[in-house]
Amino acid sequence: MAFAPSSMQLTSSAFSAHGAIPAKHTGEGENVSPALSWKDAPEGTKGFAVICHDPDAPLVQNGSYGFVHWLLYNLPAEITALDEATTVGTSGVNDTGQNGYSGPMPPEGHGDHLYYFWVLALDAHTDLPEGLTQPELLTKLEPHILGMNRLVGTYRRG
């Protein structure tokens, strides 16, 4: 298991590392997922998964701290980029209770929150069912993780 950052690089055309996430990709805007791309996956990668998590959210749910905004999995190794508002892959359930992407929307007056977009490289292609929670997804993926890395964006509610 490689539950630590690897040499993969994850970027977005929507925001830079530690830059502000545009309102378009938030709960205050169009609430569409940002475009993401990655490179330098570990040798032997056969699939990917993407997770967006806000560890600054003042919540403890499902045994973990923060708020899950997006779970996307069953991505084959040929996919190394996601378009804005992507429809590829299989969606898990976010902490709003819905499948798919739910953009940043921290509590008013709560200041900047950090949003971690993770890409996980897997040693197997997955065919997992829709609607998994983050704990369920990580339990299934953990034995297959070859490497991972993140892109961190910020958002402050207006």
For the chain, 158 residues long, give each residue's pLDDT as a single digit of tens: 445 668 899 999 999 999 999 999 999 999 999 999 999 999 999 999 999 999 887 765 656 678 999 999 999 999 999 999 999 999 999 999 999 999 999 888 888 999 999 999 999 999 999 999 999 999 999 999 999 999 999 999 87
9-155: CATH topology: Phosphatidylethanolamine-binding Protein (3.90.280)
3-state SS of the chain: helix, strand, coil percent to 5? 10, 35, 55
Neighbours of 114 (CB within 10 A): 15
pTM of the shown model: 0.93
